[in-house]
Amino acid sequence: MCRSDMPLTNFEAREENAMEQRLWGLMPVVHATSLFFYIEESRFRFLIHAIKFRGSWRTAILLGEWLGLILARTERFDEIDLIVPVPQHPLRRLQRGYNQSDYIARGVAKAMRRDIDCHSLRRHTYSRSQIKRPKIERWDNVFGAFRVRNGKAFRGRHILLVDDVFTTGSTICACADAILKAAPDARISVATIAVSHQEVGKYR
């Protein structure tokens, strides 16, 4: 399987790309990007399944490093101060054994040579998985689910929120809402390994 065959988005260098447009009106995003399109029939979707459900933390780190290297070569992301992974509820983390977003964020932080904070943003409510839930339920499922335990860590910072897959944007927006309530002067950008082609295709 060759990287050249991967459905890369190339969003990192494009202002007002499809992912950013998807977030307009939902949260005050500075920049947003994803490494590749998640397409149901694509043979690359196994990468997401591996890091999400099969405990492939090494793959998560490697993909994070790849994403981070791309961002490091892009001036649009030069002002990032802090890498923050989307957190899991402790019970979900116990069930899965790890949070894949933590490992992706570690790879990104290493490649970009930025600090990482895996503790200040917390998920305080447990809810069922977002997978296969209708769009409206996804938003209800994460509304108010995140809290910031240390607002000082985010004040005046340009934060890069990191997750595995961007679909409706509900989880990212819920995280951003919690951060901005605790640190109104923070700025937020978003980076994920994959983005649903179905969700952003119409904005291309």
Strands 146-148 and 121-123: antiparallel
Q: Token pair for residue 75?
A: 């001036």
- Residues 123-136 pLDDT 10s: 987 665 545 555 55
pLDDT of residue 188: 98
Is the distance from CB of 63 to CB of 35 less than 8 angstroms?
yes
State the chain's maximal CA–CA distance in angstroms: 44
Choose among 13, 19, 36: nearest CA to 204: 19
pLDDT, residue 141, reads 64
Query: Angle between the 57-72 and 45-53 helix axes, to the nearest 10 degrees?
Result: 120
What does the pLDDT read at residue 131? 53
Poorest-pLDDT segment among 38-42, 103-107, 164-168? 38-42
Instruction: Give domain limits for the chain.
Output: 6-203
Length of the chain: 204
Q: What 8-state DSSP symbol labels residue 162?
A: E
Indicate the SS3 state at residue 69: helix
The single-letter code of the amino acid at 118 is C
Could you read off the pLDDT of 7-20 as tens digits, one per residue?
999 999 999 999 99
pLDDT, residue 184, reads: 97
Residue in the block written with tokens 């290493």: 110
CA dihedral 85, 88, 90, 94 (to 10 degrees): -100
d(CA 155, CA 106) in angstroms, rounded, equals 21
Which listed CATH number (3.40.50.970, 3.40.50.2020, 3.40.50.1970, 3.40.50.170) goes with 6-203? 3.40.50.2020
Q: What sign for the dihedral angle of Cα 200, 63, 89, 127?
A: positive
3-state secondary structure of 190: strand
Task: Give residue 142's pLDDT band: very low, low, confident or very high (50, 70, 90).
Answer: confident
Looking at the DSSP assignment, which residues form a beta bridge with residue 148? 121
Asked if residue 181 has pLDDT above 90, the reply is yes
Encode pLDDT of 55-114 as tens digits.
899 999 999 999 999 999 999 999 999 999 999 877 776 777 789 999 999 999 999 999
